A and B are shown apart, each in its own frame.
Chain A
Amino acid sequence: MTAALDPVIHPTHRLRICAMLATGTTLELSAIKELLDLSPSALSKQVAALVEAGYVKQERPGTDSRRVWLTLTRQGAKAYRGHVAALQEIVASVPTEA
């Protein structure tokens, strides 16, 4: 195995948050909350773990401080790509049933 699973990204909700940020580049926290159908406290817990690991950057623009925007950092994007590659390797390592 060359790629590695990342313990920070591994939980489903964090993986989905990273997948969304990898697709949308920058997303508003409330849009992620709606798409994931998570409670605000559950979402902020997951986001905090990603921010703490340095994988996600959280910003409040001066024009509207109530809106929080999330972006994957370079480190986060690299960890996410590695995690996805590791998942694909795990799936590829098992022959599919006919």
Chain B
Amino acid sequence: MCMVADMENIERDTTASEARRALESIESAQLAVRNTPWPAWIYPVNAALLGALALSALVEQDRRTMVFAVMALIIGINVYAGYRTGVPSAMPTSRAFVALVATSGACAAAAFVVAEITAAAWPVVVLAALATAGYLIGGRVHRASTGARS
């Protein structure tokens, strides 16, 4: 009963400008969560692991085990870093970072397709280098977007 009365009161008393300010504060709170800086070490580690993932396309024996091990390492390290920062599952706002991570992942995936098509190792190495470089550039972009000092 008291709760209903409270609701009626705040609805009557909340003006449009107050509601607008409340919506703005929601947006800034959400941006603050999404732009929480990541630890600096996570970028080179992820970049190296993406490169390793691409290079595992060259492995002839136990390739599947190698791929799963590297993927498990990537997931495990990122979950650990997320829990250390206290913000484990927020999507970064930087579209450039997300696009570069997606591109790096695509390069790693392409390495496996290329390894099936050709016996030459260099295209896989080039794709691994692109995956690593793409993630490192993305890391700089992300760090700048979160306002963290590089």
A interface residues, Cβ below 8 angstroms from B: 1, 4-7, 10, 12, 15-17, 19-20, 22-32, 35-36, 67, 84, 86-88, 90-91, 93-94
Contacts and interface: CB of A to CB of B under 8 A. Distances in A.
Given A6-B7, A86-B11, A31 B20 contact: no
B17 to A, nearest CB: 9
Nearest to B15: A90
Contact of A24 (B19, B23, B87): B87
Contact of A91 (B7, B23, B90): B23
Contact of B32 (A35, A84, A86): A35
A62 B88 CA distance: 18
Interface residues of B, number: 27
Interface in B88-138: 88-90
B16 A31 contact: no
Interface string B2-20: 0100110011001110011
B86 A16 contact: no
Nearest to B16: A94
B30 A1 contact: no
A5 B90 contact: no
Given A16-B25, A23-B30, A35-B32, A1 B11 contact: yes
Given A24-B87, A26-B89, 16 more contacts: A7-B3, A12-B22, A17-B29, A19-B25, A19-B26, A19-B29, A19-B30, A20-B33, A24-B90, A28-B86, A28-B87, A35-B32, A87-B23, A90-B16, A91-B23, A93-B16
